[in-house]
Amino acid sequence: MTSSPPFSTVLLPDSETGITAAVEFLRSGSQVAFPTETVYGLGADARNGAAVAAIYAAKGRPSFNPLIVHVADLQAATHYADLDATAQKLGHAFWPGPLTLVLPLRRDHGLSSLVTAGLPSVALRVPAHPLAQRLLKAFDGPIAAPSANPSGKISPTRAAHVQAGLSGRIAAVIDGGTCRVGLESTIVSPTPPTILRPGGLAAEEISALLNQPLQAPDVSGITAPGQLASHYSPNAKVRLNVTSPRDDEFMIGFGDVPGDISLSPSGDLIEAASHLFDHLHTANAAERPIAIAPIPEAGLGRAINDRLRRAAAPRG
């Protein structure tokens, strides 16, 4: 009930056949590792909450940090985010390449709320690796992808690294040789220009283009929004591990514990993860105190509980 059945992970070749098979896996909600010039990414359809939740499950990632969404070009980026003049200048200069821009979400973005961890912004990147480009064009949609390694382990720069870490947990790996950059992308918030994560594109190149110095990251935690003690806080008070709600509470159920809505009536943690942020939004809109059923502290349940503890934490 807590995990997907084991896969036999397919090694796909760098060919049209390989790309076609990868696109089929992505369309069916499966996870496919693919090369970018920085590191191999573990990709899934960024519009499909269950597919994105399964990325966290495969990596054993302890919390729902927001993920980078990969798109084919700057034009595709405009479907999901608003690019101001600085963002466009950076995109024109450095995309495709090892630059990720954190941008305000468009209203009609259509991305899973699990990709953005409920934030009003999204991290977008246009990878330069020819295979990543071919995959994005053939898939014709946004691909969410963290590095394709188990959480806490070294990032993969060859298909064999991905297989060693994730074999049996994902559908496929496309073999595109060794990653050119081998270091994750530089993450920039354009206005004012701030480096949130140093990476494959040097800060000097960015400040030279913009003709201004870059801000140091904000110590308030914007570099890792998922790690804030109180993050994604609904307006109402949140009570955890509730089996019988009070009369005034909006109840979010799970498994055998019913509610006004349920994260997963069947007790499936992947389904629960994919519903988490949406259900918190719904509960928030009810303008009542929120009660949430116990979630097992195992598999994706750890990440769900991590997010729920932050939602319930005293506000700064």
Please give the residue ranges that form the binding site for Mg ion (CB under 5 A): 147
What minimum distance in Å lies between the beta carbon of 189 and ligand TXA?
A: 7
- Residue closer to ligand TXA (CB basis): 196 or 308: 196
122 is in the binding site of which of ligand TXA, Mg ion, none (Cβ under 5 to 8 A by kind)? ligand TXA
Here the tokens at position 166 are 């994730």
Residue 93 to residue 85: CA distance in whole angstroms: 12
- Residue closer to ligand TXA (CB basis): 201 or 291: 201
What minimum distance in Å lies between the beta carbon of 237 and ligand TXA?
A: 26
What minimum distance in Å lies between the beta carbon of 2 and ligand TXA?
A: 23
- Residue closer to Mg ion (CB basis): 40 or 95: 40
What minimum distance in Å lies between the beta carbon of 149 and Mg ion?
A: 7
Q: What angle do CA 16, 70, 196 make, to 5 degrees?
A: 150
76 is in the binding site of which of Mg ion, ligand TXA, none (Cβ under 5 to 8 A by kind)? none
121 is in the binding site of which of ligand TXA, Mg ion, none (Cβ under 5 to 8 A by kind)? ligand TXA
- Residue closer to ligand TXA (CB basis): 146 or 165: 146
Count of CB atoms situated within 10 Å of the CB of 253: 21
Here the tokens at position 204 are 């000097």
- Residue closer to Mg ion (CB basis): 38 or 147: 147
- Residue closer to Mg ion (CB basis): 48 or 147: 147
Q: Site residues (CB under 6 A) for ligand TXA?
A: 36, 38-39, 41, 65-68, 100, 102, 116, 119, 121-123, 125, 145-147, 184-185, 187, 196-197, 222, 224-225
What minimum distance in Å lies between the beta carbon of 181 and ligand TXA?
A: 7
Q: What angle do CA 275, 48, 251 make, to 5 degrees?
A: 10
What minimum distance in Å lies between the beta carbon of 83 and ligand TXA?
A: 14
- Contacts of residues 276-282 at CB distance under 8 Å and 24 or more positions apart, as own/partner, are 276/64, 276/114, 276/304, 276/307, 276/308, 277/64, 277/113, 277/114, 277/117, 277/118, 277/232, 278/49, 278/113, 279/252, 280/118, 280/232, 280/234, 280/252, 280/311, 281/113, 281/118
18 is in the binding site of which of Mg ion, ligand TXA, none (Cβ under 5 to 8 A by kind)? none
Q: Are 109 and 103 in contact (CB under 8 A)?
A: no
89 is in the binding site of which of ligand TXA, Mg ion, none (Cβ under 5 to 8 A by kind)? none
What minimum distance in Å lies between the beta carbon of 23 and Mg ion?
A: 24
